[in-house]
Amino acid sequence: MGESEGIHGWGCTPTGDPPPAAVASNSTNSKVGCLPTWVTRGWRRNALYAIIIFLMVLVFLNIALTLWIISSLKMTAKGIGPITIVKDGIRLDGQAWIVDNLVASTISSQPGQPITLHSPRNFTILVSEPDQEEHAKFIIKRDGIECDGKVFDIRDSKGGNVFYASREEVRLSTETLLVEGPGGLAVRSAVQTPLIQAPPGSDLQLESLTRRLDMRAPQSIYLESRAGSIDITSHSNIKLDSVVGAIKIDAPNIIIGNLKEAQATEKSQKNLRGIKFYQLCACTSGKLFLAASDGTCAVQDNDVELCR
């Protein structure tokens, strides 16, 4: 009874100092009694089960994350979402955002659908070789378009030349160059063309606002009006000068209006029909005037205004 009364509580929490014999005999049992039996017995097996359970949780998390990524990106056997892998490349249905650079050999739209390239700033198309200087660049800015290169060539659907520009020349290969607008076409230097023609129902005007207008040709200059007349009006003199040949006016009727009439030096006979006929005369200065048909091409001595 003395030994039983000296020990109270559980084996791992003694309330008093047991006898030395009791401590020596129960030391092993007190250390083991602090943990459950299923932990103390086979701890290696329990650790292995814990690792297996942890790995299973990781596997299920990876499977769930993979399924979520596949469903979010809409991945299929043929592509990812709007991107479909085809024989010659990829096909995109919808819009695509290019963060950095896009390198491709061909960009085309679907049959019957337009293609739109949008950029909040500049849009640049560059053609060059690796580790070399730029060869050709096409830049679309907010307020203009720039093209850098040796030659700028525009062709039609059949491959024919339409517009060609280089440092040496600018060539326009088309049947008609149509310029619409009140200002027309302004050329600072010179225009060389085989034909200048106005569109049907419009007038053709060659105008120089502050300087003179020159028409030059190595052989000849031909003016023709097939359905109307040709009017030449000048504020000052109109001069026709031929250095080698002659000035030829070929027409069934030649009418020179507003010519002054010289007073006849001799009394002319009246025509029975009352129709006036005149003869065309010229002064020594080259000025033309009219005289009576039966008179002489002469003026009176006191007439100083006719041949001045």
Question: Which two three-digit tokens encode residue 250?
Answer: 């070929």
Instruction: State yes or no: pLDDT of 69 exceeds 60.
Output: yes
pTM over 0.75: no
Instruction: State yes or no: pLDDT of 58 exceeds 90.
Output: yes
pLDDT tens for each residue of 288-298: 888 887 777 87
Within-domain flag for 218: no
Q: Which of residues 73, 96, 131 is at a domain's end?
A: 73
Q: Which of residues 158, 183, 208 is at a domain's end?
A: 183
Mean pLDDT of the 55-71 span: 93
Mean pLDDT of the 137-146 span: 87
Confidence class for position 15, pLDDT limits 50, 70, 90: low
Give the number of domains in the chain. Answer: 3
pLDDT the model gives residue 38 = 63
pLDDT the model gives residue 18 = 54
pLDDT the model gives residue 14 = 52
Nearest partner of 290 among 274, 272, 268, judged by Cα: 268
Higher pLDDT, 305 or 159: 159
Question: Which two three-digit tokens encode residue 283?
Answer: 């002064």
Confidence class for position 78, pLDDT limits 50, 70, 90: confident
pLDDT the model gives residue 271 = 47
Within-domain flag for 172: yes
Q: Which is it for strands 170-172 and 288-292: parallel, antiparallel or unpaired?
A: unpaired
Q: Which of residues 133, 149, 183 is at a domain's end?
A: 183
pLDDT the model gives residue 60 = 96
**Number of helices and strands in the chain (H, E):** 4, 11
pLDDT tens for each residue of 105-136: 888 887 888 888 888 888 888 887 777 776 78
Within-domain flag for 96: no
pLDDT the model gives residue 255 = 79
Q: What distance in Å separates the CA atoms of residue 214 and residue 303, rounded to the nearest whole number? A: 38
Question: Which two three-digit tokens encode residue 107?
Answer: 């960009």
Within-domain flag for 99: no
Range of the domain at 128: 123-183
Do 306 and 262 form a contact (C-beta atoms < 8 A)? yes
pLDDT tens for each residue of 212-260: 888 888 887 887 777 778 888 888 888 888 888 888 888 887 777 787 8
Within-domain flag for 152: yes
Percent of the chain's residues with pLDDT above 90: 6
Within-domain flag for 217: no
Nearest partner of 136 among 154, 117, 122, 150, judged by Cα: 150
Within-domain flag for 203: no
Within-domain flag for 251: no
- The alpha carbon torsion through 254, 260, 266, 271 (nearest 10 deg) reads 50
Confidence class for position 36, pLDDT limits 50, 70, 90: low
Q: What distance in Å separates the CA atoms of residue 228 and residue 61, rounded to the nearest whole number? A: 93
> How does the average pLDDT of the chain come out, rounded?
76
Higher pLDDT, 59 or 263: 59
pLDDT the model gives residue 10 = 47
Q: How many CB atoms lie within 10 A of CB 299?
A: 19
